[in-house]
Structure 1
Amino acid sequence: MSDPFFFGYGSLVNRRTHAYTPAHPATLQGWRRTWRATALRPAAFLTARPSPDSEIDGLIAPVPGGDWAALDQREAGYDRVPAPQVRHPLTRPHDIAVYSIPPRPDDGDGSPILLSYLDVVVQGFLTEFGASGVHRFFETTDNWDLPVADDRAAPLYPRAQKTSPEELRLTDDWLARLDCRIIHASETGLGQDAAP
């Protein structure tokens, strides 16, 4: 029996944030990304939701022995659900799951997006898919009206990575293009418990 796989569409696209190998670029059909504010954390989550006419890029990688415990802990707050429509380069079929936050009664609208989290995601998409992949990431992600908390000086995201000036500029250019509201993390009162 072969190992099950996960489909990562956010920080899991950045191979520097995990040790799951071998990872392969893939596309999940029938889904879109969105930023979600919930009572689970004071910062927004990046999640995926069904959307029949959309598709999103990401990575698939095996979960050895089907031991999901560590990944489920990393993705606390998400449900692990089947992802049956994934295009990938592997020749044999695989059991693939995706993490998604189901609708919740405590969904809010004001929790900020951590810039250190977004930087990690953009770095992963740039590495795996180039500038066009970053473009597709921003175009297939909703809810950019949430504020973006600039925590680059003291990252709150636990898997923050060293990023180049070019990577930071790419993220900043997209945020400007989308007319995102940037706030300083100190204005939010966010602490280490904010990180998704």
Structure 2
Amino acid sequence: MTDLVKDQICYFGYGSLVNEETLPAGTKVVAGELSGWKREWRGCSKGKDGSGRMSGLGVCALGVRREEGSVIHGAMVLDSKVNLPALDQREWHYDRKSLDEGSFTPHCGRQMPSDTFLYQVQQQFAHWGCEEHPILQSYIDCVMAGFHRLWGQEGMEHFVETTDGWGRVPIVNDRADPYYPRAITLSNGLAAEIDDLLKSVNAQYLKRSNWV
């Protein structure tokens, strides 16, 4: 693998960072798969509203754990080092973890830098989501739209199949009035496809009134 060019960072996105709409202008996204990690709904914290301020409402975001033999799709993001402080702030309850060289396989066959990392939920936040910390539908929509852009329907199916916690962690449907600060707008067709996939894994929904 090649080394990083000066003033560049390279990190693996497995959730919202897969969606290019949430990334700074000028980033390059390389679709591929990461070996040795498992994705899960185990990242509880107090959320931030659209202005970036802490709201006091509990939410559950995606995390990953090391697991031998596991393979997850995602995107390696090549970005400018000047964007790292903002990225760290976005992922404020995650720690940067270096990736083993060769653990990421790009689907395009492109050579990748040897110095790469991902964000793993900090231990104090690494709890399964619950009624006090549900998953936001607007967050799911953002993530799955990113997978759809890179791999189509197959990518969304892979995301659902390789993520632990469906049926265990409740979802709040905030699609019509998004709470997630990086919410995106879906086509009716894509929204229906996402809803069908969530039904296939017995996703459980929590009334928004019981959360707020």
Matching residue of 2:140: 118
Q: Which one of the candidate residues 38, 42, 67 is aligned to 1:32?
A: 38
Q: 8 Å contact 2:32–2:105 — kept in the other structure?
A: yes
Q: What do the CA deviations read for 1:105-128 (whole angstroms, capped 9, x no partner)? A: 873541210000000111110110
TM (norm. structure 1) is 0.89
The structure-2 alpha-carbon separation of the partners of 1:45 and 1:96, relative to structure 1 and needing over 3 Å to count, comes to same
Matching residue of 2:151: 129
Map 1:10-89; keep pairs closer than 5 Å.
10-19=15-24, 21-41=27-47, 42-65=58-81, 67-84=83-100, 85-88=103-106, 89=109
1:116 partner letter: S
The structure-2 alpha-carbon separation of the partners of 1:170 and 1:71, relative to structure 1 and needing over 3 Å to count, comes to same
Identity across the alignment (%)? 34
Separation in 2 of the partners of 1:16 and 1:76? 19
Does residue 150 (structure 1) correspond to residue 156 (structure 2)? The answer is no
Q: Secondary structure at the match of 1:166?
A: helix
The structure-2 alpha-carbon separation of the partners of 1:62 and 1:153, relative to structure 1 and needing over 3 Å to count, comes to same
- Which blocks of at least 5 consecutive residues in structure 2 are unaligned? 48-57
Task: Name the stretch that deviates more: 60-69 or 81-90.
Answer: 60-69
Q: What do the CA deviations read for 1:139-188 (whole angstroms, capped 9, x no partner)? A: 11001111100011210000000101111111111111111111232320
**Total equivalences in the alignment:** 189
Q: Which one of the candidate residues 186, 192, 201 is aligned to 1:169?
A: 192
TM (norm. structure 2) is 0.82
Q: Secondary structure at the match of 1:151?
A: coil
Task: Name the stretch that deviates more: 6-15 or 20-29.
Answer: 20-29
1:13 partner letter: V
Q: What do the CA deviations read for 1:38-59 (whole angstroms, capped 9, x no partner)? A: 3555110111111111111111
Separation in 2 of the partners of 1:83 and 1:48? 13
The structure-2 alpha-carbon separation of the partners of 1:93 and 1:182, relative to structure 1 and needing over 3 Å to count, comes to same
Q: Secondary structure at the match of 1:175?
A: helix
Q: Calculate the aligned-residue CA RMSD, in Å.
A: 1.9
Q: 8 Å contact 1:78–1:101 — kept in the other structure?
A: yes
Q: 8 Å contact 1:114–1:150 — kept in the other structure?
A: yes
Separation in 1 of the partners of 2:45 and 2:87? 21
Q: Secondary structure at the match of 1:182?
A: coil
Separation in 2 of the partners of 1:109 and 1:172? 20
Q: What do the CA deviations read for 1:62-110 (whole angstroms, capped 9, x no partner)? A: 2313652011111110011012211123325331110111433873541
Separation in 2 of the partners of 1:169 and 1:107? 29
